[in-house]
Structure 1
Amino acid sequence: MNDRIGTLAAQQRRIEAKKAALIERARTLDAELNRAFDGADIAGVSSNVTLEQIGYDEYTYGYLCYRDGELTVGYRMTDDDVADAHHGVPDDQRSYSVRVLANCSPEWLERLLDEATLESLLGNIAARLCEREGRLDGSLSALQTILAAESAKLDGQMVERLEKTGDDTLQRLFDEAVDVAHLDAADGLTRSSRFLEAVCATILRERGTALPKDKSIVPLLDACVACLDWPDKVALTDAKQLFAGVKSIAGGIGTLRSHFGTAHGASSHLPSLDASWAMLAKNAAAAVAIFLLSRHRDGTDATPGNATVEDTP
């Protein structure tokens, strides 16, 4: 009798050891999922599996769930199915009870943590990620279409403005910036920066103003703004706030050119940029150039007494 009891006791200890091993496996899986997703809002469920057979046609079934950084079990019984069917509850609205893995029996854990169930959980997470990525791709595509249309509109305005100047050099420099923007981001940055520098230099020459010693974008822009005409001091004050942003844009283009462009010996160890950077630089350069040329060409009728940037302390 004692031998029999000892055998049963040993079996119970083995069961507890296996349960502890399964729970540890679940903790490891939970930790790996959390480490992989790093707090991201990721969720997934496995396929349903039979957790416990109660009678001939009675059993408990459920699934493994990963949500909010935790693995849990959703479960229900066939008796619940009968009751829901009687009350006309649709399948997709039937509720599951929730239990943490530590409170599950070894039999449940064996079925929930086997290879097929875990694979179905990871497959469901993958499907949800693919769906999310697909929605984002659709949104990005729509946004890209809108931005492309706006970029084309901006290019058209720039071409129209350049046609009024009759300056073939500026037209050629802008055409080059447009042509390479989609093909070579580094070269696109260089050509957009070169175009904006040329616009500022052209305005300075046409207004009889000496070019600054430093012929990079920001000094050229400062000198260009200083020689333009303004209708009154109120407009000038407002314009100075605007030019703080314009100078920031111009400076950003120059910095990108220095770091990533094909001029000035750009650092080869830096990562390459995609075409969107060149498009951003080209669009920014065009927007600034359109404004400067408009002030230069259309704002020259200002009366002699009007203020300039140099008049303001």
Structure 2
Amino acid sequence: MTTRKEAIERLATLVQESRSEVRIGLESVEKDLREAVHGVRLYASGCRVGLGNIGLDDYEYGFLTFDGEQIRALSSSSLEDAYNYGNEEERYYTSKHLSELSEEDIVKYSSAESINSIWSAVESKLNDFLGEAKSAVRQLSEFTDVQAEAMQEDLTGLMKGQYFEKQWAQARLKVATDPSDSLNHSNRFLESICRHYLEQRDLPLPGTKTAPELVAAVVKDFPFPSTVEGKEAKGDIEKLFGGIKSIGVGTGSFRTHFSTAHGGDKKVSQNDARLVNNLVGAAAIYILERLKERMVADLNE
């Protein structure tokens, strides 16, 4: 016959085993949350959980939080709140990781309402982040549009003749309608600008008349600013000129690998096509400005 002591011992063992399973379950929730957010840093908190009385007229409560890596339990008490006049900003919380919680508290924090609330809080926080990111993208897009309009005005003022303007317009418009073909037009426009520069400067065209070689030939003719002195300063200017040459190389590479110039069903995103087009526009403005300076200087000699 089972004694009362043995029955209670058996019940206590079952309680301990069940609580251990609850701890494992909550640790699994922590792992799932960590994997779900993919390294996004955030701070989310679940609903309040009652932990019981801890003294005369003193009631302890807590809630789960998640920071993108760990679930922690923050706890306080009604007496602590009274000390801080119930001010949410000044409340003092004790923070514990799951491994530091007692088996009894683990069970209370693991209620269905508590677990659902921390999942919902994380989802809500990610939606907030997404909204902020989309807002930032819209603002950047608006800024880019303003920059593009300014670039258009600069180029229109520097370009003479409908040929250049037509090439630039085609390259610009194709970004949205046919990004891959836009790469062809952007590349062709840059080559034409470079040819124009070299012809106006009465300089020979390179043996290979592609964007990288044409841009390199143009940059080679750029003089150092008269105010530049010292090896370090000249090295910095050479880096700038090297960046312009890199635009020629990059534009040619994108045309080769992602445009429809060599046939095939090649695809490129609007973002990449717009980047190439913007860089080509910036380089073209600089090249035409330098050409204008050289021509004015020649007239004044």
TM range (shorter): 0.7 to 0.9
TM-score, L = length of structure 2: 0.83
Alignment of 1:33-48 (within 5 A): 33-48=33-48
- The superposition leaves residues 199-258 of structure 1 with CA deviations (integer Å, 9 ceiling, x where unpaired) of 1123334445443332221111223344x5758888796865432111012211222222
Code of the aligned partner of 1:42: L
Contact (CA 8 Å) 1:52, 1:107: kept in 2 or not? no
Code of the aligned partner of 1:65: T
Tell me what 1:126 maps to. 123
Q: Partners of 2:21 and 2:263 in 1: how far apart?
A: 60
Code of the aligned partner of 2:287: L
TM-score, L = length of structure 1: 0.80
Structure 1 gap segments, 5+ residues each: 307-313
Contact (CA 8 Å) 2:60, 2:75: kept in 1 or not? yes
Tell me what 1:140 maps to. 137
Deviation of 1:18 after TM superposition, in Å, equals: 0.9
Tell me what 2:163 maps to. 169
Alignment of 1:230-245 (within 5 A): 230=223, 240-245=238-243
Tell me what 1:278 maps to. 273
Tell me what 1:247 maps to. 245
Q: May I ask how many residue pairs the two structures share in their alignment?
A: 295
Structure 2 gap segments, 5+ residues each: none
Change (3 A) 1:103 1:303: closer
Contact (CA 8 Å) 1:18, 1:106: kept in 2 or not? no
Deviation of 1:108 after TM superposition, in Å, equals: 2.9
Q: Find runs of 4+ consecutive structure 1 residues off by over 4 angstroms.
A: 53-59, 206-210, 228-241, 301-304
Code of the aligned partner of 1:175: A
Code of the aligned partner of 1:67: D
Code of the aligned partner of 1:296: L
**Aligned partner of 1:287 among 282, 287, 292:** 282
Tell me what 1:262 maps to. 260
Structure 2 SS opposite 1:99: strand
The percent identity for this pair of structures is 23
Change (3 A) 1:286 1:9: same
Q: Partners of 1:229 and 1:22 in 2: how far apart?
A: 73
- The superposition leaves residues 141-199 of structure 1 with CA deviations (integer Å, 9 ceiling, x where unpaired) of 2232222211110111101111xx22x22111011012122333222222111100111
Structure 1 SS opposite 2:50: strand
- The superposition leaves residues 252-286 of structure 1 with CA deviations (integer Å, 9 ceiling, x where unpaired) of 12222222222234674xx641x232222222212
Structure 1 SS opposite 2:72: strand
Q: Partners of 1:234 and 1:104 in 2: how far apart?
A: 69
Deviation of 1:69 after TM superposition, in Å, equals: 2.0
Tell me what 2:210 maps to. 216
Tell me what 1:101 maps to. 98
Tell me what 2:51 maps to. 51
Deviation of 1:55 after TM superposition, in Å, equals: 9.3
Structure 1 vs Structure 2 CA RMSD: 3.2
Q: Relative to structure 2, which stretch is displaced further, 47-56 or 256-265?
A: 47-56
